Structure 1
């Protein structure tokens, strides 16, 4: 990370975290319902039989109802497991996940570890994000796990970030290693970014 962008990214992440903490219980519940509806529709649109998704933390948009639906629908769900080398292992969703706090400070299920290449078998990737701009550039939380994962994939399926509506912005700070995504799912809509989608179709 360059010296110029590091403070800018830290300040933006701090602001976004504070906004999320200030949401009311009713606002969170309404957001979760909308996000679940749009993630289900996206999964059906893609025809995904296997997806990767993360377990949301308390302040994040709630992905857990979607995970429960996918599992009940017979869709294979892979969860990311953080590693000390900056890569991600994966584990498969079960009926009763035991959770621990991962290296990034977020919830992770306990299960049989699959290596980093397991992500190559999914049809849809759902990623966390602090903010995403209208070109599809994603601002993560500073650990770089997803940038490394997405940047290493030869054939990447559709990648969608999950956000609150106000976190889709005109521009986010970007560096050379930052990875664009195909779209975002918010409580009110699903937005696809044509630039990365066109590039992915050419791979």
Structure 2
């Protein structure tokens, strides 16, 4: 990654991180309920019976109500587990799912490891992001796990990044390894995006 792009990403991530940290608990709670409705609508649109998602941290848009509801309805939900080699393992979410602190201090599920290719069988991928731009480019938090996963998939299903409403921006800095997404899901809406080239 060039120094200029790295500096741009670092500055944008710092701004986004600060905005997420100052959000009130009431705003977080309201956005969680709205996000769950949007994610349910996305499932319905694709007729998905198997999805990948992620365990949100306290500052991310809250995916946990959605995951719990999907599991209770009998959907197969795969959750990622970070590996030392930069790849993601996957495990099936359960109603009584236990969590541990992962490699970077982030919450990760406990469960049988299915390996990196397990995600190739889902109907829809729901992934985290720091921001997404109107061309379909996603900017993550800098560890590259989801870029590597998406870049390795021959026939990826639709991929939607979960962000807050103000994190859909005009442009994000991008480098050669960065991967585009099909769309973004915010508490207010589902946005279909052109796949960036």
Partner of 2:77: 77
Unaligned runs of 5+ residues in structure 2 are none
CA distance in 2, matches of 1:195, 1:150: 13
Partner of 1:143: 143
Question: Residue 23 of structure 1 aligns to a residue in which SS?
Answer: coil
Question: Residue 4 of structure 1 aligns to a residue in which SS?
Answer: helix
Q: Is the 8 A contact 2:181 2:195 kept in 1?
A: no
Shift of 1:194: 3.0
CA distance in 1, matches of 2:27, 2:7: 30
Normalization by structure 1: what TM-score?
A: 0.95
Q: Which of 102-111 and 140-149 deviates more?
A: 102-111
Shift of 1:104: 3.1
Shift of 1:51: 0.3
Unaligned runs of 5+ residues in structure 1 are none
Q: Is the 8 A contact 2:180 2:195 kept in 1?
A: no
Question: Does residue 1:133 correspond to 2:133, yes or no?
Answer: yes
Q: Is the 8 A contact 1:104 1:143 kept in 2?
A: no
Shift of 1:62: 0.1
Question: Does residue 1:17 correspond to 2:17, yes or no?
Answer: yes
Shift of 1:157: 0.4
Partner of 1:114: 114
Q: Is the 8 A contact 1:38 1:189 kept in 2?
A: yes
Q: Is the 8 A contact 1:147 1:179 kept in 2?
A: yes
Q: Which of 9-18 and 128-137 deviates more?
A: 9-18
Q: Is the 8 A contact 2:51 2:126 kept in 1?
A: yes
Shift of 1:5: 1.1
Shift of 1:105: 2.7
CA distance in 2, matches of 1:186, 1:105: 25
Q: Is the 8 A contact 1:81 1:102 kept in 2?
A: yes
**Alpha-carbon displacement from aligned partner over 1:148-185 (angstroms, at most 9, x marks no partner):** 00011011100000111110000000001100000011
Partner of 1:159: 159
Question: Residue 195 of structure 2 aligns to a residue in which SS?
Answer: helix
Q: Is the 8 A contact 1:71 1:93 kept in 2?
A: yes
Question: Residue 179 of structure 1 aligns to a residue in which SS?
Answer: coil
Partner of 2:181: 181
How many pairs were matched up?
197
Normalization by structure 2: what TM-score?
A: 0.97
